[in-house]
Amino acid sequence: MKNIKFIMLFLAFLLFIANQAFSQKTFERGYIIDESGIKKDCLIKNIYKTDNPTIIEYKLIGSTEVKTGSVAEIAEFGITDTLKYVRSIVKIDKNEDGLNDKLQAGLHLVKDTLFLNQLIEGKANLYRYSLGSLNRFFFNIESDTIKQLIYKRYLENGKEKKNLTYIQQLIAKVNCKSFRYDRFQNIKYNTNSLLNFFEDYNKCESEEYINFHSKLKRRKLIKMYARAGINVSQNELKRAQVRYFDKGTGVGLKLGYEIEVVIPITKKDIFSVFGEVSYYQFKIKMEDDTPLPPRTNPIVRTYSNYTFIHKTLEGAVGLRAYLLLNQNNAFFIDTSLAGNGEIQSEIVIGNSSTRYNFDYSRIFGVGYKHKKFLFQSKYYYKEIPRIEQNGDDNQNVSGFVFTVAYHFF
C-alpha cells in the first residue's frame, strides 16, 4: 500500500517537528543580571522543571560558547515574559513535610542563598522553592526582606497537627481593607491557592502585577490530545459510460491521537502545526432500485443492492489558526492533508467483492477550544481510484467528522 509509506513519512516528519520544537526549548531567549547589576541578554538552557536550579547554562547573544553561572555569580535570571528567578539570602526550613514518629512541631530554619522562582511580581510578591517533594513559599511587600511562609504538619500524642503560621503572616502583612477574615481561612498552602490570593491582593490595592506562573503554562509549545468522534460519510459511485451514480450514507467511529506544535512567532498561541494518527471505520449499505436513465448502454453492468465497507489507519498533517477569546476559550480553523493505509476497503455485491484504494484526503475543520477540550467538526473529501476490474467506474467518499479531543500533555 503506497499510502502506508505516506503514513511512515508523516510520522517521521512529525517526530522531526517535535524534535525541532524541543530543540528550540533547549536554549531560550532570556537574560541574566550579574553581581555588578549588569543585565545581559542571552540564551538560557531549558529550566522548565520542578526543582529550583543552583547552576544555569547560557550562551551570550552571538556566541556559541556555553557558559555556566551559579547562585554566587548571578543575582537574577529569566526567560523573557515567561519565567523569573531571583537570588536571595533567606531562612528556610528544609525538613520534609510528612507524618512520622520523628516529626516534631519545632521549625529548623537555616540561612541559605537560593534561587527563588518568582510566581507573582507586584506590590506583594510570591516566590516558590522546590526540591523533590519539598515545597516552600516565600513572600515580601515591595522591597522588604523575603521571608518564608510558615506551614508544617507534625504529630502530637499520635495525632496530626498543623502549624498554620502563614495565615497570620498574611493577615499581618498582605491584608487589603476589603478582605474579610474568612478570606484568609480559605487559603491553602499550595501554588494555586496562594497565587489566587496574591493576585486578589494586588488587584485590591490597584497595583499592576505579573503572574509568571500563568505565562509559563500558556507558552507550552507541544500539546498532545486524545481524540474520539463520530464519522458521518457519504459514498458516491459514478457508473461507467452513463451519467448516473449511486449514493449511500454510513456512520462510524473514529479514534485518534494528535500532537500539536505551537509556532512561536507571536506572543500568544495563535498558529500551530499538527499531526494526527487515527483509526476509523464505517459501513454503507447502498440500495439501488432506480432504473437506469434513458438511452444508456444496455450492456453496462449495474448494481442493485451492495455494501461499501471501509476500515483504515489515517495519518494527517496540517496547519491551525486560533481566534483567542480569553485564556480559556478560542475558536479555530485548520486544514490538513491525509494519507490512508487501508485495512479493508471494498464493495461487496452478493458473494463477490471489489477492492478500492483511497487517494489522499483533503480535510477542512472548524472548532472551539475550552480549557483542555477541543470540539471540532471536519469536512473531508477522498478520491478512490479503482484498482481491480471495471476500472472505468469512479468512486469518492466525503463526509463530516464530529470529534472531542482532550489535552492530556
- Domain parsing of the chain, residue ranges: 88-218, 220-292+300-407
pLDDT, tens digit, 9 for 90 and up, residues 285-319 = 666 544 445 444 433 344 456 676 777 788 888 99
Name the grid cell of 240: 461507467
pLDDT of 201 over the 90 cut: yes
pLDDT of 191 over the 70 cut: yes
Is residue 201 within 8 Å of residue 176, measured between CB atoms? yes
pLDDT, tens digit, 9 for 90 and up, residues 7-51 = 556 666 666 655 555 554 567 889 999 999 999 999 998 776 668
| Residue 380 burial (10 A CB sphere; 0-12, 13-18, 19+) | buried
**Residue 348 pLDDT:** 65
**Residue 244 pLDDT:** 41
DSSP SS3 for 170: helix
Mention every residue, 6+ apart, whose C-beta is less than 8 A from residue 312.
Answer: 279, 280, 281, 340, 341, 342, 343, 345, 358
Residue 59: band (very low, low, confident or very high) from pLDDT cuts 50, 70, 90: very high
Distance CA 127, CA 140 (A): 9
Report, as an integer, the average pLDDT of 148-176: 89
Is residue 362 within 8 Å of residue 383, measured between CB atoms? no
Report, as an integer, the average pLDDT of 264-280: 82
Report, as an integer, the average pLDDT of 225-234: 85
pLDDT of 87 over the 70 cut: yes
pLDDT, tens digit, 9 for 90 and up, residues 100-159 = 555 555 678 899 999 999 999 999 999 999 988 889 999 999 989 999 999 988 777 778
| Positive or negative torsion for Cα 204, 205, 206, 207 | negative
**Residue 248 pLDDT:** 61
Q: Which of 37, 83, 38 is CA-nearest to residue 60?
A: 38
| Residue 286 burial (10 A CB sphere; 0-12, 13-18, 19+) | buried
DSSP SS3 for 219: coil
* Residues facing residue 364 across a β-bridge: 335, 379
* Residues facing residue 400 across a β-bridge: 232, 379
Identify the CATH class of 220-292+300-407. Answer: mainly beta
